[in-house]
Amino acid sequence: MLKNMLENVRKNCPLIHNITNYVTVNDCANILIACGAAPIMADDQDEVAEITSICSGLNINIGTLNNRTIESMLIAGKHANELNHPVVLDPVGAGASKLRTETALELLEKLRFSVIRGNISEIKTLASGSGTTKGVDADVADKVTDENLDEVVAFAKAFSRKTGAVIAITGAIDIVANSQNAYCIRNGHPMMSSITGTGCQLSAMTAAYVTANPDHPLEAAAAAVIAMGYAGELAHSRLTDLDGNSTYRNYIIDAIYNMTSEMLERGANYEVR
Amino acid sequence: MLKNMLENVRKNCPLIHNITNYVTVNDCANILIACGAAPIMADDQDEVAEITSICSGLNINIGTLNNRTIESMLIAGKHANELNHPVVLDPVGAGASKLRTETALELLEKLRFSVIRGNISEIKTLASGSGTTKGVDADVADKVTDENLDEVVAFAKAFSRKTGAVIAITGAIDIVANSQNAYCIRNGHPMMSSITGTGCQLSAMTAAYVTANPDHPLEAAAAAVIAMGYAGELAHSRLTDLDGNSTYRNYIIDAIYNMTSEMLERGANYEVR
Amino acid sequence: MLKNMLENVRKNCPLIHNITNYVTVNDCANILIACGAAPIMADDQDEVAEITSICSGLNINIGTLNNRTIESMLIAGKHANELNHPVVLDPVGAGASKLRTETALELLEKLRFSVIRGNISEIKTLASGSGTTKGVDADVADKVTDENLDEVVAFAKAFSRKTGAVIAITGAIDIVANSQNAYCIRNGHPMMSSITGTGCQLSAMTAAYVTANPDHPLEAAAAAVIAMGYAGELAHSRLTDLDGNSTYRNYIIDAIYNMTSEMLERGANYEVR
């Protein structure tokens, strides 16, 4: 199944419209190409509807948002919904400021998302309407562990039921859930949190996966999360003592570039609850 | 000849003003330094004329354009024209949205360009006033091959005659033409299209080359295109099985950094038609 | 002493709010993580005060400024001052345009800075109210050498007395001064100027250092400058003949990631005047 998810991205080469922050935008573009998709970045109100219409999927990331781009997110999102294009939401920093929380909630209210991907604090903020986020990182108090895993799985399923979106909560253990099933994924490496934007990159790649696999949003999102985590493992195994987070960033994108469906199947480490 | 083009960049170290997209801007700055030039990025209406006046050349790239930056492009472009500074246009995504197409056409109407560099779909859009672009990549239907090369060369020469600019159409075969002559360049590697922004980087570097060689815009633009393509070959030969598009991106800039005029002469693969 | 400065960053993991240019923003985020801090980038007027309040320090960098972000710098800066958060100013390109010079002077007038870090031309512009800057690089006429070092040290101390900020002037010889003492630092490598944004990265890292060491702004800023310079040396020693400025960029961030307090003490090359 995972195999097909990856292969469909490489086969269909979906063009993904990204309205995303300027911090990690280059990495988002390169990882989209690495996984087999094609990126276009456009955030002006005068072109976002049109750009969305020539694409097959949309990735909305609220990092470094402003009033101009928030409006563009709404315009593009509505148009993508009309066209039945998959839309992914990355609520970067929801909980860290009222603007981010309210924007994420407004997007959630006005748009239909295929996948919502964030860290546990961001997703909790969306679910409860308020929250605490340590900047753009998850609050330690929220951390997903083996002890609270069932509880978080239940939370993710409930939030999926409420929103109709696949919920991807990423961290030490990743949870990708619809209302019925949750992939609990143990791929990845702790050092991935030393790179800015692995979450943003994953959201962009998730948009590519769900776009190329329109009938399987849960499996597609899970495959993207597994691919990212496994790339983090493969990339880490290449590092020398002198390498740090910058080389690691490059190697993760490289690993996505070189990942085959066989590798993904072999490297996947998950259970469905 | 190519030799001199490169050496003049390293000798004159031209300061290039870039109004460019936020996706690939860091790579544009680094490749400008790598080739021997110096970059400055500035896009606010209140400073672009002044920034242009302290520079020797201007690079206008319409990716991630918006109303604020479009106005800045016009202001800077007019001022650069008054100062007789070379101006390069990269019409990223012309054909993909009305805003991009119309902006590119407006720039073309109001400004005088030394070089226009884009993929075949973007250049066709400028020449015809409309077009189809697969996002920011060329439409497959437009692809330049040995079969249609003469036709595309004639098109490029005609468009150069019309605009007064050197036309650089990059792809599997690159064409750099003025109204009389066309360099048909076969440097490069297919994997270069797996990196976001090799085109943007090339446009920035082309601005440096034409600025450092004001009397030879055709040869200067051709030298920049050949340098980029040859860097793509050299960088590719360094890749291991584990490397992908991210490491490749770094190695291409590295290859530009290390390129000597002798290497460029030796590696160049072109004919003039 | 340097040892403690670095260790406090790793121990306290300060969250740093960055209002910075879109050219080097990704590198700023990654170097903040590499040194042990955490970054958040936010530049909208509607959220900057709130974002500043959840952070412990603020880094204001005026590269690619515009009217929207200038207002955000003022709002965030005032709020950080009220909260007694350290604030760093990087006056990128002050002297290159009236907008940049006047913005830097306005920030200086309205805000209280812990550290001002720039090249010699930028700092002279701030001190005199006008100046000439070669784009974003220092004017050759301003270069700090052994011959004029005492003079520049006296200038830096006087400007520190006037502003109340630690003054960090970086170049071939770095000077980090308060009104009494100046660290003259001879770490670093000439090739660092071949990378866009080593200055921006250093300013971001300086914000982390002064935030984690609130009682020692001079020593903290000096430690950050030494760490950056020594990272430049270590990274340079890894380069092969085929590597250039892009790989060098990665290796410098890697070296910051791997730097221990012992390495910093051992590698430091400075005198206090």
Whole-angstrom distance, CA of residue B79 vs CA of residue B74: 8
Cβ within 8 Å of residue B103, ≥6 positions away: B62, B65, B70, B73
Q: Which of B15, B50, B249 sits opposite C134 (nearest CB)?
A: B15
Pairs across A and C, CB distance < 8 A: 102
Q: What percent of chain A has pLDDT over 70?
A: 98
Beta pairing, strands C87-90 & C57-61: parallel
Residue A263 has pLDDT above 80, yes or no: yes
Average pLDDT, chain A: 96
Q: Please, which pLDDT band fits residue C262 given cuts at 50, 70 and 90?
A: very high
As a whole number, the mean pLDDT across chain C is 96
Residue B130, chain A, CB below 8 Å: the answer is no
> CA-to-CA distance for A177 and A268, rounded, in angstroms?
17
Contact partners for chain C, using 3 or more CB pairs closer than 8 A, are A, B
Task: Report the greatest alpha carbon distance in chain B.
Answer: 51
pTM reported for the whole predicted model: 0.97
- Residue C11 pLDDT class (50, 70, 90 cuts): very high
- Chain A hits for B245, CB-CB cut-off 8 Å, are 30, 33-34, 253-254, 257
Beta strand pairing status for C57-61 and C15-19?
A: parallel
CB contact under 8 A, A26 and B21: no
A51 → closest Cβ in B24, B97, B195: B97
According to DSSP, the residues that pair with C183 across neighbouring strands are: C176, C272
B177-181 long-range Cβ contacts below 8 angstroms, 24+ apart: B177/B153, B177/B218, B178/B217, B178/B218, B181/B218, B181/B272, B181/B273
Residues A2-60: tens digit of each pLDDT: 999 999 999 999 999 999 999 999 999 999 999 999 999 999 999 999 999 999 999 99
Asked if pLDDT for residue B77 goes beyond 80, the answer is yes
Pairing of strands C174-177, C115-118: unpaired
User: Which residues face C40 on adjacent strands?
Assistant: C17
The sign one gets for the Cα dihedral A8, A14, A20, A21 is: positive
Q: Are A5 and A216 in contact (CB under 8 A)?
A: yes
Please name the residues in contact with A215: beta carbons below 8 A apart, sequence gap of 6 or more. Answer: none
Q: Do A39 and B196 touch (CB under 8 A)?
A: yes
Query: CB-based contact (8 Å) between C247 and chain B?
Result: yes
What pLDDT, in 10s, does the model give residues B36-73?
A: 999 999 999 999 999 999 999 999 999 999 999 999 99
pLDDT for the residue numbered B168: 98
Predicted complex: ipTM over 0.90: yes
B31: CATH: 3.40.1190.20
Q: What is the pLDDT of residue C105?
A: 97
Q: Return the residue matching tokens 């909560």.
A: A169
| The token pair that represents C154 in the structure block | 């006296």
Phi/psi of residue B167, nearest 5 degrees: -105, 120
Tell me how close the Cα of A92 comes to any Cα of chain C, in angstroms.
10
Average pLDDT estimate for B218-246: 98
Decide if A63 contacts C43 (C-beta within 8 A): no
**CA-to-CA dists, residue C20 to A22, C16, C86, angstroms:** 11, 12, 16
Contacts of C68 in chain A (CB under 8 A): 66
Comparing A258 with C135, the larger pLDDT belongs to A258
| Chain C: closest CA distance from residue A196 (Å) | 6
Mean pLDDT calculated for residue range C183-206? 98
pLDDT at C134: 61
Residue type, A189: H
CA angle C19, C21, C25 (to 5 degrees): 85
- Give the model confidence (pLDDT) of B147-177 as tens digits: 999 999 999 999 999 999 999 999 999 999 9
Mean pLDDT of C253-272: 98
CA atoms within 13 A of residue B4's CA, in its CB half-sphere: 8
pLDDT at B138: 76
Beta-carbon-side half-sphere exposure of residue C83 (alpha carbons within 13 Å): 20
User: Percent of chain B scored above 90 by pLDDT?
Assistant: 94
Q: Which of A200, B179, B209 has the alpha carbon at shortest distance from C29?
A: A200
Give the Cβ contact number of residue B215 at 10 Å. Answer: 6
Gap between the terminal Cα atoms of chain A? 17
Contact B140, B165 (CB under 8 A): no
pLDDT at C40 exceeding the cut of 90 = yes
Could you tell me if B103 lies within 8 Å of chain A, comparing CB atoms?
no
Cβ–Cβ < 8 Å for C138, C121? yes
Confidence band, pLDDT 50/70/90 cuts, at residue B31: very high
Burial of B251 (0-12, 13-18, 19+ CB in 10 A): buried
**Mean pLDDT to the nearest integer, A243-252:** 98
Model confidence at A254: pLDDT above 80 = yes
Least confident of A141-145, A223-227, B12-16: A141-145
Is a pLDDT exceeding 90 seen at residue B2? yes
User: Where does the pLDDT of residue C132 fall: very low under 50, low under 70, confident under 90, or very high at 90 and above?
Assistant: low
Number of domains chain B is built from? 1
> Are C254 and A241 within 8 A, CB to CB?
no
Task: Check: CB of residue A87 under 8 Å from CB of residue A97.
Answer: no
At C1 the pLDDT is 86
Report whether pLDDT(A234) > 70: yes
What is the band of C264 on the pLDDT scale with cuts at 50, 70, 90?
Answer: very high
Q: Percentages helix, strand, coil for chain A, rounded to the nearest 5?
A: 55, 15, 30
Q: Can you give the residue range of the structural domain that contains B223?
A: 2-272
Q: Is C102 on the interface with B (CB under 8 A)?
A: no
Q: Which of A91, A69, A83, A93 is nearest to A19 (CA)?
A: A69
Q: Taking 80 as the threshold, does the pLDDT of residue C140 lie above it? A: no
B109 CB burial (10 A radius; 0-12, 13-18, 19+): exposed
Tell me what the mean pLDDT of segment B128-135 comes to.
70
Phi-psi region of B249 (alpha: psi -120 to 50; beta: other; left: phi over 0): alpha
Sign of the CA dihedral with A132 first, then A136, A137, and A142 last = positive
Q: Strands C174-177 and C182-185, how do they pair?
A: antiparallel
For A150-203, the pLDDT digits (tens) are: 999 999 999 999 999 999 999 999 999 999 999 999 999 999 999 999 999 999
- Separation between Cα atoms, residue C201 and residue C25, nearest integer Å: 8
Question: Which chain B residue shows the shortest CA-CA distance from C101?
Answer: B47
**Which residue has 């839309």 as its token pair?**
A87
**Residue B133: what pLDDT?**
62
| Per-residue confidence (pLDDT) for residue A134, from 0 to 100 | 61
